[in-house]
Homo-oligomer: A and B are copies of this chain.
Amino acid sequence: MIFQAIRQQQPLVHCITNYVVANFQANGLLAIGASPVMADDPNEVEEMVSIASALLLNIGTLNERTRKSMLLAGKKANAQGIPVVLDPVGAGATTFRKQTVQQLLAEIHFAVIRCNAGELAAMTNTAWQQKGVDSGDGTIDLVAEAKQLAQRQHCIVIVTGERDLITDGEQVEWLTGGHVQMTAITGTGCLLSAICGAAYTVGNKPFQQLAQTLALYKKVAEQAIATPAIGDFQLAILNELHAFSKVGDVSCTL
């Protein structure tokens, strides 16, 4: 099982991320036995990513300095064969975000893009109202656009929402389950993107590893909702991630 494989291999995930969720992301990665490192200065990101197993670029609180760092780290990761995950937070909300994402997509090869429907729309230049966006209900357009983006970028595209979609441009899989309360706390999507980075590194069937990650993350939500109070729910997610990565033996069918 993928979380157990992560605990066994303890990949180091270098996150250039936003300060709103950095703590939650670090603790979430630690909860499944991965090792987080946050470093975002142009002076050191190339060296830092070189010792990492995966790189996460999350534009949640983007600025000029971290944009530069993302480009440096992403290119270095590409040169060294280290997988890069993009989380294009609010990509359609401002020109600065949209242009940064376009530049990142043009100059860096991503292994995985993890987004919601509005962010997908921004990346494929589809009309969409970014504010209050949700993944919708699996219209044919969502599949078509995700596949198109995956083909164009030669990567796996994950679009999360009430149902999650994963595609490598050919295969398409839908994941159901989870719980809507995941959208009522900050950082659950951001954490999932970081976990995707860890999951990508621990086997040689990325599509299956990531599909299993999405399925497990929905199970985590289903377990965590047993602790429904909104503050405690946040920690229940960490508790369940921890539990899932420890149950049973670590033999992994992937």
A residues with CB within 8 A of B: 10, 12, 18-24, 26-27, 30-31, 35-41, 43-44, 47-48, 51, 60-65, 90, 93-97, 130-132, 184-187, 229-232, 234-239, 241-243
Contacts and interface: CB of A to CB of B under 8 A. Distances in A.
Contact of A23 (B40, B62, B187): B187
Contact of A132 (B10, B44, B239): B10
A170 to B, nearest CB: 35
Nearest to A12: B131
A231 B31 contact: yes
B237 A234 contact: no
A41 B184 CA distance: 25
A11 to B, nearest CB: 11
A95 B61 contact: no
A10 to B, nearest CB: 7
Contacts of A132: 10, 12, 35
